[in-house]
Structure 1
Amino acid sequence: MTKILAISGSIRKHSYNAQLAHMVVKHLRAKGANAAYLDLANFQMPLFNEDLPEEDQPDSALELADLFASADAVFIASPEYNGSLTPLLKNTIDWVHHQKLGAFANATFGIGSVSSGSLAGIMALSHLRDILSKVGALIAPTALGVGMATTAFNENGELSDTRVAARADAMVNELLTVRRRGQQ
C-alpha cells in the first residue's frame, strides 16, 4: 500500500492550507493509499543553525526526516507569505535535509497553496518547487493553486470550483503514480 504524508506550512487554527492537506489525505485514502496528516505544531524545532551542538539537535527533526524518507509521496500545502513560503515550512525543510540527506530522494512531492487572493499562492509554489528540487525531491507536475480562500471550500470540506477540484484530483493521481525511474 502506498504510504503518503501531508503537511501544512501553517499551524494556525482554521488554516485553509491545513484544510487543503486534510482534503488531499481524504482523497488519497479513498483511492486506497495509507495517507496521514502530520501537524508541524507537533514537531518543535528551533531556527535552523548548523552551529548547534549535536546534543542540541531537535529529536523531532530526525523523526520527520525518517518519516519523509520512508514515504512514497508527500503533499505540502503552503500559504504564501510576502510572495514566498512560510518560515515554518522553510525551517522544516532545512532541518529535515540536515538530518538525513536522502530524506527527499524517495518520495514524490505534491505542492499546493490556498490564498485569499486570486493568484492562489503561485509565487509561494514557485519558491517551494525550487527549494524542493535543490534537496533532491521529485515534484509532481501539477501544482495546486487555490484562490479566494474564504469561498474555496464547500460545507463538506471539498473544493468549490470544479476546475480546481479537477486539478486536485490530477495531483492526487500523480502522487499515486509518479515515481523516479527504477522505483515501482
Structure 2
Amino acid sequence: MSKNHKDEHVLVFPSNLLKNIGYFQGLSFEINKYLNVIKPKYSSLPRSEAEENPEYKQLISYAILRHGKKIFSYKRGKLLSEKRLFDNYSIGVGGHILGNNDRDLFEEEQTKGVEREIREEIFIGTNYQSRHVALLNDDSNEIGKVHFGLIYLFDLDEANVKKKEKSINEQTFFTVQELKKNIRRYENWSRICIDNIERLTD
C-alpha cells in the first residue's frame, strides 16, 4: 500500500463469497478453506474502482516481521497513498496483489505480492524464513470493507531492516508487551494481529 498506483489492476473477489464459505470478523487460520473457493472466483479491477466498491474485496498481503521475540513496527507518514491510514502505527508491511488472468499463477502472484511490497517499502539485510499464517477480514470501517488480508510471518536472522519509502517513519522492533501496552495507536488490522500475536507467531 505504499505507492499511488490507482490505474493498476488488482486481484479482487466477490465479498458475498465470505458468507457462502463462512463469514468471520478478525482472523481465520483456515487458509485453504477460503482460498480454495476464492481462487476460481477472483478477477481483477482497476484499483481506483475497487477502492469504492464494497461488493468486492481486494487481496492485500500483510507481512509481520519478527526477530527473536520482537516485532517490527513503524508509523505511516504523509506520503502514503492510502490517506485514511496516515499517522497510524502498523506492524504490517503490505500491499495489493496485482491482477493476473491466469488462475494457475494465483499462488505465484500471491507470493510475489508480499515480496514485491516488502522490496518497495523496506530493505531486509538478513536471511529470513516466511510463511502464510492467517487471513484477515475487518468490516468495522470503510477501508476494511474493501480489503481482505493475507497475513504472513517473516522470521529474520537479524534485526536489519531499513526503510525505502518516505511514508515509513519511526521504524523499530518492539516486544509483544510493548505492542499491547500501546495498542490504541495502531491501525485496525495491526490491533487485530497484536491481540492474536501469540497464535500468529507460534
- Compute the TM-score of the two structures, normalised by the length of structure 1: 0.26
Greater fraction of residues in helix: 1
User: Higher relative contact order by CA 8 Å / sep ≥ 6: 1 or 2?
Assistant: 2
Greater fraction of residues in strand: 2
- Compute the TM-score of the two structures, normalised by the length of structure 2: 0.25
